[in-house]
């Protein structure tokens, strides 16, 4: 049975930082042990840690993907040390034997949330989940940037139909939850809400403008509307990360979630 969550526990902040281009030759920096490390990876890691420090004490999740792949699983422990939960958005996809190995290695790092791609199939996702009894494993259905034309070309069906197909795969694999856009939250809540948590990216608060937004505009919602539609958690990235005051942006978002839950 799914646990009751506070408004803060319903918010996942996406720490998606893109390194700035370096001029001239690649630069290298020395770490505390005197070993050389590439600046781009170090730069992204520092951005994640800086955000974690800003958000210390808020009780939210911090989502990491590219940074985690770049600098390794030790980043999970560093985020934990700032009192935040970790969403390892690795979108794992491979055969069962490999996902089992991934699960064993991630079990040591203890992320609270982890993503796998539903297209990996039932047996592979089961193998992953078997190794991670204490991590909530979430199946990614259809990426929120995709449109119907994309899913027709890839899966010969509409976006909503593809989401439902992959949600059935996740349920059969007995993982813990789903990743989908808020547009599908209501129908997924009705069908899978008892057994699977619903986690929705493509959240855009009314007070935020994201230049060059790459999300499908037909599949985005505000935090309050997504919660009312049935989302257990929402993922908010650039509106918070690019805000002048990320802490203030987080608190505004938590207040909006609380108003929708209440």
Annotated binding residues for substrate, as ranges? 63, 144, 204, 237-238
Q: Residues with catalytic annotation?
A: 89, 91, 94
CA torsion, points 138, 64, 183, 198, in degrees to nearest 10?
A: 30
> How far is Cα 115 from Cα 87, in angstroms, rounded to an integer?
8
**E strand or H helix at 161, and its extent?**
helix 159-173
Tokens 């805000």 sit on residue? 243
Closest CA to 219 of 229, 211, 209, 233: 229
């Amino acid at each position: 049975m799914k646990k009751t969550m506070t408004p803060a526990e319903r918010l996942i902040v996406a720490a998606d930082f893109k390194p700035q281009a370096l001029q001239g030759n690649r630069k290298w920096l020395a770490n505390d042990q005197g070993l050389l490390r590439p600046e781009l990876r170090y730069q992204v890691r520092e951005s994640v840690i800086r955000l974690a420090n800003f958000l210390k004490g808020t009780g939210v999740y911090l989502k990491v993907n590219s940074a985690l792949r770049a600098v390794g699983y030790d980043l999970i422990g560093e985020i934990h040390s700032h009192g935040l939960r970790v969403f390892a958005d690795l979108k794992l996809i491979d055969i069962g034997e490999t996902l089992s190995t991934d699960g064993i290695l991630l079990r040591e790092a203890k992320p609270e949330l982890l993503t796998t791609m539903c297209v990996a199939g039932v047996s592979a996702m089961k193998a992953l989940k078997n190794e991670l009894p204490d991590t909530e494993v979430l199946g990614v259905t259809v990426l929120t940037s995709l449109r119907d034309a994309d899913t027709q070309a890839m899966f010969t069906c509409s976006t909503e139909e593809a989401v439902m197909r992959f949600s059935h795969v996740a349920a059969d694999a007995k993982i813990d939850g789903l990743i989908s856009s808020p547009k599908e939250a209501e129908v997924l809540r009705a069908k899978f809400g008892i057994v699977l948590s619903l986690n929705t990216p493509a959240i855009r608060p009314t007070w935020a403008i994201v230049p060059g937004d790459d999300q499908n505009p037909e599949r985005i919602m505000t935090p309050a509307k997504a919660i009312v539609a049935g989302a257990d958690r929402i993922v908010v990235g650039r509106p918070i990360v690019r805000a002048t005051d990320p802490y203030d942006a987080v608190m505004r978002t938590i207040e909006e979630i609380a108003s929708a839950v209440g």
